[in-house]
Amino acid sequence: MKVAFVGAEEFEIRGLLARGWAARAAGPGFRAARQAGEHLIREQKPDALASVGICGALAPDLALGEIVVDETAAPRCDRPHRRGAVVSIDRVIATAEEKQRLAALGLVVEMESRAVAELAREHGLRFFCVKAVSDTAAEDLPLDFNRYRAADGRFEKRRIAWTAVARPLTLLPALMRLNRHSQFAARRLGEFLADCRFE
């Protein structure tokens, strides 16, 4: 089965690209995920689309880097992982309080899989969803990143950087820590996907 992988940011799919797999990241959110998926369908003619990337934990027992596979869209893999509902919302869930309110709906929350699933259904393709935890249920993100999204949904990284520079003792270290956690989660995701069987 030929699978094409949709991520949000380039670092999420770096390991897939290094293996020569069909993958594309066009930015966070539904609109960008759909654009990436449409490009992959045109260029790669896949049998399946997979939504992959980092996510925020909703379940309090999920640890940083832990893998969550959507219960309705799971590849086979012997590596440790959790199966359950992945909640997909077209905005950043930035606080532990927001996560707690969503916890009854699933294990994790992210911003792309619903759009990728809808696109796969429209084209009669299989769909898979695999995510890695980059922030736990008890964590607040250092910023409300929704305030730093452009009209196309992408994060305005220059504005984020300037905001961090203005608060170098508090915000800058928190953003650096989030980046480390996100990179770690992406590496764990790549390792997991390398051992998956998509059937």
pLDDT in tens, 8-25: 999 999 999 999 999 999
Residue 133, pLDDT above cutoff 80: yes
What are the start-end ranges of the H helices in the chain?
10-18, 30-44, 96-102, 113-122, 157-166, 171-194
pLDDT for 23-59, tens place per residue?
A: 999 999 999 999 999 999 999 999 999 999 999 999 9
**Whole-structure pTM value:** 0.93
pLDDT band at 83 (very low <50, low <70, confident <90, very high): very high
pLDDT score of 49:
97
Provide φ and ψ at 24, rounded to 5°: -150, 140
121 pLDDT band, cuts 50/70/90, is very high
